[in-house]
């Protein structure tokens, strides 16, 4: 695991049968995750997402199959050494209540034997990274923080030793919708900078689309129904199962993933101009508010219903025929 | 028995002051030593047994059974082996103190939330490290409460040690009871009892102080 900015994770025919259970919780799971990639495991409750993820840091031991990180079989590594190189964030957060925020963030660096000065600097850096002012929060205790702040600390703690791999099990699942959106946006920004290899478990498809580089849609026993980019899954769901998981409004969800850039056409328009960096869902909103007439784009050109539909691959001229 | 005149206890107290101090010191000492022994043994047992269902139940059950043995009987049983005096007293008190200590250690360690345990393991702490640097500090207030209960228990039962010629204020209580009707009978019994209550209150205050000083601010109620 020398590559600190991300490692390859390979799972090959991994299965897990819990003691006294008739059926495996995970059966023949095979997946390769590229360095720096954020893979979302999404599926209904009980389908085996958590079990699959927790086998990667051996919180759960696989019954069969092999798991490799950067080519090394994790079963041959010392369990605790392995875990110190894998950031771990769980829904219930699990901060240590008797330790200050700074001490919580310092746990893995301390286990790794870093010097006091290096740890202190690192803790401050991590807290800033998750937008908590170190001078305010370092000496507080977890119970003095809101749920959203605690989860930020959870992320900072997982990142503190700069592990190449992160495992995240519904990290934002317990927060209210507004906090969740903020945490997701911050996390997206964070991942853009740190480029870890991340396995992220969620049952929220919207969250999967928003954050994932690739999404694995899972059904019972962690069977992979489709493993592809959010845009491709939305455009071409592989089965009824996947389509039902996407739910209503697939086109709007796809638009949210696309930039205005991809739908600019030449021509003039009147109305409030929209930035090229915005997503097409916002652009469509503007067009609708503009009574369906095209809206100008900052820097030249315009977007219209037709250009947006074309960007989605829909031929508007044939609609209604 | 004539009417007792409470005002006579003060001259009695002053007259016997040296002896009262000596007996009180003995009482405190015998409680300290026996609770210390019980703590060393009981906490170790708890640390070892908390995650082993069979051993854990067996330990708590055994400590519970010991506590149901009448103290006179237990002390008498020890005379043939350990003779009279300090030794049987210390052993009996240590045995009686075990239950709250073992039970609270086990309960405290088991009460640590699963999420905290899992994130500790997930970060690469060894089981011993998890036990000592995560579970133990979180369980500490509960364990300390066990020590406090054990101490109160020992303070009370220690007065019966006089029965095997043991140390402490029990000497006064037994003396008073054995000469009931005599002039100083109630003075002896009352002085012994009041001093025991004072010692119990002082120990309680001490434990409140220790709890404040040794519990992380993050888990203080
Ligand atoms: N420790 C366990 N012992 C027995 N069965 C378990 C255990 N953990 C999970 N399971 C079962 O395995 C299946 C998958 O669980 P899980 O991986 O937690 O699913 P998900 O995270 O997708 O909700 C479920 O049927 C669950 O009941
Ligand atoms: Mg789960």
C-alpha distance from A100 to closest chain B C-alpha (Å) = 7
User: Per DSSP, what are the bridge partners of residue A169?
Assistant: A90, A201
User: Per DSSP, what are the bridge partners of residue A210?
Assistant: none
**Tokens 């998890």 — which residue?**
B130
DSSP letter (8 states) at residue B161? G
* Per-residue confidence (pLDDT) for residue B2, from 0 to 100: 55
**Structural domain boundaries in chain B:** 6-220
CB contact under 8 A, B138 and A97: yes
Rounded to the nearest 5 degrees, what angle is found at the Cα of A95, between the Cα atoms of A89 and A99?
145
* Per-residue confidence (pLDDT) for residue A1, from 0 to 100: 41
User: Ligand 1 within 6 A of A48 CB?
Assistant: yes
CB contact under 8 A, B122 and A80: no
Positive or negative, the Cα torsion across A161, A164, A165, A168?
A: positive
Complex ipTM, two decimals?
0.89
Q: What is the pLDDT of residues A155-213, one digit of tens each?
A: 999 999 999 999 999 999 888 888 898 899 999 998 988 889 999 999 999 899 999 99
pLDDT tier at A2, thresholds 50, 70, 90:
very low
Q: What is the pLDDT of residues A91-144, one digit of tens each?
A: 999 999 999 999 999 999 999 999 999 999 999 999 999 999 999 999 999 999
C-alpha distance from B132 to closest chain A C-alpha (Å) = 13
Q: What is the pLDDT of residues A274-302, one digit of tens each?
A: 999 899 999 999 999 999 999 999 999 99
The answer to whether A276 contacts chain B (CB < 8 Å) is no
CB contact under 8 A, A83 and B119: no
A94 closest CB neighbour out of B116, B129, B216: B116
Cα separation, A236 vs A175, whole angstroms: 31
Q: Look up the pTM and report it.
A: 0.87
Regions of chain B with pLDDT less than 50:
1
Cα separation, A39 vs A45, whole angstroms: 18
Residue A172, burial from CB neighbour count under 10 angstroms (0-12, 13-18, 19+): buried
Pick the CATH number of B6-220 from 1.20.1530.20, 1.10.565.10, 1.10.3720.10, 3.40.47.10: 1.10.3720.10
User: Per DSSP, what are the bridge partners of residue A217?
Assistant: A42, A226
3-state SS, residue A203 = coil
Cα separation, A73 vs A195, whole angstroms: 23
User: Ligand 1 within 6 A of A49 CB?
Assistant: yes
Q: What is the pLDDT of residues A30-48, one digit of tens each?
A: 999 999 999 999 999 999 9
User: Ligand 1 within 6 A of A21 CB?
Assistant: yes
User: Would you give the distance in Å from CA A113 to the centre of its chain?
Assistant: 30
Q: Which ligand is nearest to the CA of A49?
A: 1
CB contact under 8 A, A95 and B124: no
Size of interface A-B (CB pairs under 8 A): 74
The answer to whether A83 contacts chain B (CB < 8 Å) is yes
Give me ligand 1 centre to Cα A17, in Å: 10
3-state SS, residue A297 = strand
Cα separation, A296 vs A277, whole angstroms: 13
Residue A22, burial from CB neighbour count under 10 angstroms (0-12, 13-18, 19+): exposed
Contact, B216 vs B137, CB < 8 A? yes
A98 closest CB neighbour out of B115, B123, B137: B137
DSSP letter (8 states) at residue B157? H
Cα separation, A160 vs A151, whole angstroms: 14
DSSP letter (8 states) at residue B135? I
Cα separation, A226 vs A233, whole angstroms: 7
pLDDT tier at A3, thresholds 50, 70, 90:
very low
C-alpha distance from B141 to closest chain A C-alpha (Å) = 11
Cβ neighbors of A271 (< 8 A, separation 6 or more) are A286, A290, A293, A294, A295, A296
* Per-residue confidence (pLDDT) for residue A314, from 0 to 100: 72
């Amino acid at each position: 695991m020398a590559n600190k900015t991300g490692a390859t994770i390979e799972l090959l025919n991994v299965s897990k049968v819990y003691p006294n259970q008739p059926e495996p919780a995970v059966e023949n799971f095979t997946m390769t995750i590229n360095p720096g990639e954020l893979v979302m495991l999404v599926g209904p409750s009980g389908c085996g997402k958590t079990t699959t993820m927790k086998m990667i840091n051996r919180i759960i031991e696989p019954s069969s199959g092999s798991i490799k990180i950067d080519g090394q079989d994790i079963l041959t590594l010392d369990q605790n050494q392995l875990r110190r190189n894998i950031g771990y964030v769980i829904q219930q957060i699990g901060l240590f209540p008797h330790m200050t925020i700074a001490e919580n963030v310092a746990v893995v660096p301390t286990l790794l034997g870093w010097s006091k000065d290096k740890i202190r600097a690192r803790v401050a850096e991590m807290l800033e990274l998750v937008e908590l002012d170190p001078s305010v929060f370092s000496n507080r205790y977890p119970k003095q923080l809101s749920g959203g702040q605690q989860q930020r600390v959870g992320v900072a703690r997982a990142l503190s030793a700069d592990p190449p791999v992160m495992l995240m099990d519904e990290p934002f699942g317990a927060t209210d919708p507004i906090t969740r959106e903020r945490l997701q946006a911050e996390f997206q920004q964070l991942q853009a900078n740190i480029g870890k290899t991340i396995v992220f478990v969620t049952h929220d498809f919207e969250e999967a689309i928003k954050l994932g580089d690739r999404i694995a849609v899972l059904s019972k026993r962690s069977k992979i129904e489709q493993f592809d980019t959010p845009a491709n899954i939305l455009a071409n769901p592989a089965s009824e199962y996947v389509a039902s998981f996407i739910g209503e409004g697939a086109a709007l969800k796809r638009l949210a993933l696309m930039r205005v850039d991809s739908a600019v056409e030449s021509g003039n328009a009147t109305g409030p101009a929209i930035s090229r960096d915005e997503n097409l869902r916002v652009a469509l909103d503007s067009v609708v508010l503009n009574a369906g007439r095209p809206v100008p784009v900052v820097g030249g050109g315009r977007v219209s219903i037709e250009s947006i539909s074309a960007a989605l691959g829909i031929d508007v001229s044939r609609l209604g025929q | 028995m004539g009417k007792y005149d409470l005002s006579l206890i003060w001259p009695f107290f002053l007259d016997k002051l040296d002896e009262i101090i000596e007996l009180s010191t003995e009482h405190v000492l015998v409680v300290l030593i026996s609770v210390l022994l019980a703590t060393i043994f009981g906490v170790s047992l708890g640390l070892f047994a908390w995650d082993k269902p069979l051993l854990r139940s067996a330990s708590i059950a055994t400590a519970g059974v010991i506590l149901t043995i009448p103290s006179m009987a237990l002390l008498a049983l020890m005379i043939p082996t350990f003779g009279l005096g300090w030794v049987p007293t210390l052993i009996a008190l240590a045995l009686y103190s075990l239950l709250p200590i073992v039970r609270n250690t086990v309960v405290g360690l088991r009460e640590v939330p699963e999420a905290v345990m899992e994130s500790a393991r997930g970060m690469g702490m060894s089981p011993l490290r998890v036990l000592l640097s995560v579970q133990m500090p979180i369980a500490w207030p509960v364990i300390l409460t066990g020590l406090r209960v054990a101490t109160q228990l020992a303070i009370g039962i220690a007065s019966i040690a006089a029965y095997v010629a043991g140390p402490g204020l029990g000497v006064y209580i037994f003396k008073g009871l054995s000469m009931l009707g005599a002039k100083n009978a109630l003075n002896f019994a009352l002085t012994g009892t009041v001093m025991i209550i004072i010692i119990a209150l002082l120990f309680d205050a001490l434990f409140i102080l220790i709890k404040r000083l040794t519990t992380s601010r993050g888990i203080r109620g």
